Amino acid sequence: MSRRFRGFLPLALITVTALAAGCDDQATPTAAAPATSATTAAAPATSATPAGPTRNEVCTEVTKVVIDGSVQIADNAVKSIDERWSTKEVNDHLRTSFGDMAKKVRAQAEAVADPELKAAVEKTAAELAQGAKSSKPDDFLAKDFQTLSKDLDKACGA
């Protein structure tokens, strides 16, 4: 097994660690609703259309998709060494991982109403799709994947 493939494991583990460090699983606490008067409380409620997922929910879910994908890449890096995968097998697994992440992130983008957040999520999905189509997905992992979430972090307020 070449040194290049052995280098995937530390890179994948660093990626997982870095992404996990930026993840905030706690939702912002909300204040209690103000007390209402008897006349306000008696007023009929209007039915509102659900607004879709909140910014925090979208950001958390997209981050989870990328972290889970990174864990899969790290697991595959270990398997590639243990099972002596060929270069083609390693690249195929990387492409599959990036493609799976792209589909899941794209699905999140479809539900986003906020234009800034939607653009960041769509850009993240497009970048992952590029990794899935790359002739050198290991280069994508080493370079572009490391900076993948910068726009998303900005849109999510990280």
Q: What does pTM read for this prediction?
A: 0.69
Inside any domain, residue 135 = yes
Q: Of 16, 21, 111, give the one whose Cα is nearest residue 66.
A: 16
pLDDT for position 33 = 47
pLDDT for position 11 = 53
Inside any domain, residue 50 = no
CB 155 within 8 A of CB 117: yes
Number of domains in the chain: 1
Q: What is the pLDDT of residues 63-113, one digit of tens each?
A: 999 999 999 999 999 999 999 999 999 999 999 999 999 999 999 999 999
Inside any domain, residue 33 = no
Range of 73's domain? 3-21+57-156
Inside any domain, residue 73 = yes
Residue 53 has pLDDT above 70, yes or no: yes
- Residue that the structure tokens 């493609």 belong to: 99
